[in-house]
Amino acid sequence: MNRLLKYGLIIGVVAACLTYAIFACEKSANASQKKVCSDIQIFITDYDKKMLISKEEIAILLKQKNLHPIGETLARIHTKSIEDEIEKHPMVRRAECYKSPEGTVYVSIEQRTPILRVVGDENYYVDDMRKIMPVSLNHTAYVPIFSGRVTHKMATGSIFDFAQFLSEDKFWGNQIDQININKDMKVELVPRVGNHIIMLGNFDRYEQKLKKLKKFYLYGLNEVGWDSYSKIDLQYRDQVVCTRKN
């Protein structure tokens, strides 16, 4: 057979196969797009650690925004619109949505992570991205609580740094129950053990101040008793100044 003719036949066969494959794929894709969504699967990836939102909330949200996919053809379901709407929820960090050819829509949601809570005139969380977020109606996060004259700038700055320290230090994370910013903008710590107030002063050198207090706990309060003082002041360098109870 003429070599040129042979190559021509091979090219023709390959072209025919490619054409058929493209046609089959397009036909399959068109059929898939006409498929009606019969189910939606919502996954909240960190639900075992915190429950700031629920699957039911997300389903209701999608219905309110006319984005609930069940009963719609896959062609009419816009996954990007579903993602964008869910990510507007104040408890959501990220959402991903995709469709399966069988007619199921999958939604994966990552919640925001509270690091601290501010209570008082305002009541809110600060998340791990230093952003303010509202308090959830479904779940209370067990994070350090700050009260008193707390500004947003403080909450996302020095207070955030101190809250992270408490979350990483097992001893102080368990010992400090609440942090208050008094009218003079001084930091007061309320411990879980011991009926006294700890005067931190400000957040400068707080690690050194608490290290000094820990030694006092071990070698001072263990001797005289944990309820002997009403106030323990750490504001003075190299000193722990205590006020005895009346």
Q: What is the mean pLDDT of each run of 10 residues along the chain (246 residues)?
A: 53 52 47 79 89 92 95 92 96 95 94 94 95 88 93 96 95 94 94 89 93 86 74 87 82
The reported pLDDT for the residue numbered 114 is 94
Q: Two tokens at 2? A: 């003429």
List, in order, residues 6 or more apart from 110 with CB less than 8 Å away: 45, 46, 92, 93, 94, 95
CATH number, domain containing residue 133:
3.40.50.11690
Do the domain assignments include residue 2? no
Do the domain assignments include residue 33? no
Report how far residue 110's alpha carbon sits from residue 128's, in angstroms, rounded to the nearest whole number: 13
CATH number, domain containing residue 93:
3.10.20.310
Q: Are residues 59 and 148 in the same domain?
A: no
Do the domain assignments include residue 107? yes
The reported pLDDT for the residue numbered 204 is 92
What is the CA angle 69-73-76, rounded to 5? 75
The reported pLDDT for the residue numbered 242 is 84
Do the domain assignments include residue 22? no
Instruction: State pTM to two decimals.
Output: 0.77
| Total number of domains in the chain | 2
Domain boundary residue, one of 53, 87, 111: 111
Do the domain assignments include residue 167? yes
Report how far residue 187's alpha carbon sits from residue 18's, in angstroms, rounded to the nearest whole number: 73
Q: Are residues 159 and 64 in the same domain?
A: no
Residue 217's domain comprises 114-244
